[in-house]
A = this chain, B = another copy of it.
Amino acid sequence: MRSNIETPDTGLAAALQARIDGKTKPPGSLGRLEALALQLGLIQNTLEPRLTRPHILVCAGDHGAARAGVSAYPQDVTWQMVENFLAGGAAINVLARAAGMALTVVDAGVNHDFGARPGLIDAKVAPGTANYLEGPAMSAAQRDAALAHGEKIVRALADDGCNVLGFGEMGIGNTASASLITHCLTGAPLAVCVGRGTGLDDAGLERKRALLSQALPRFTGAHDDALAVLAHFGGFEIAMLAGAMQAAARRRMLLLIDGFIVTAALLVAARLSPAILDYCVFAHRSDEAGHAVQLEHLGAEPLLQLGMRLGEGTGAALAYPLVASAAAFLDEMASFESAGVSNRE
Contacts and interface: CB of A to CB of B under 8 A. Distances in A.
A142 to B, nearest CB: 27
Given A31-B306, A72-B26, A324 B91 contact: no
Contacts of A339: 80, 83-84, 87, 89-90
B33 A341 contact: no
A292 interface: no
A81 B334 CA distance: 11
Interface residues of A, number: 61
This chain: how many copies in the complex?
2
Contact of A198 (B26, B72, B74): B26
Interface in A305-327: 305-310, 314, 317-318, 321-322, 324-325
A219 interface: no
A70 B203 CA distance: 59
A32 B325 CA distance: 21
B23 A306 contact: no
A89 B333 contact: yes
A62 to B, nearest CB: 14
A30 B310 contact: yes
A329 B91 contact: yes
Interface string A91-103: 1011101110000
Contacts of A77: 341-342
A344 interface: yes
A72 B27 CA distance: 11
A314 B30 contact: yes
A242 to B, nearest CB: 24
B329 A318 contact: no
A315 B28 CA distance: 15
A161 interface: no
Nearest to A69: B345
Contact of A342 (B80, B308, B314, B333): B80
Given A199-B344, A303-B306, A95 B29 contact: no
Given A29-B309, A87-B334, A97-B332, 16 more contacts: A29-B199, A29-B310, A30-B91, A80-B340, A80-B341, A83-B339, A83-B340, A84-B339, A87-B339, A89-B332, A94-B325, A94-B329, A95-B329, A98-B321, A303-B306, A305-B305
A94 B342 contact: no
The 3 closest A-B pairs by CB, nearest first: A89-B334, A31-B307, A31-B308
Contacts of A90: 24-25, 333-334, 339
Contacts of A84: 24, 334, 339, 341
Interface-central residue, A73, A95, A340, A345, by most chain B CB under 10 Å: A95
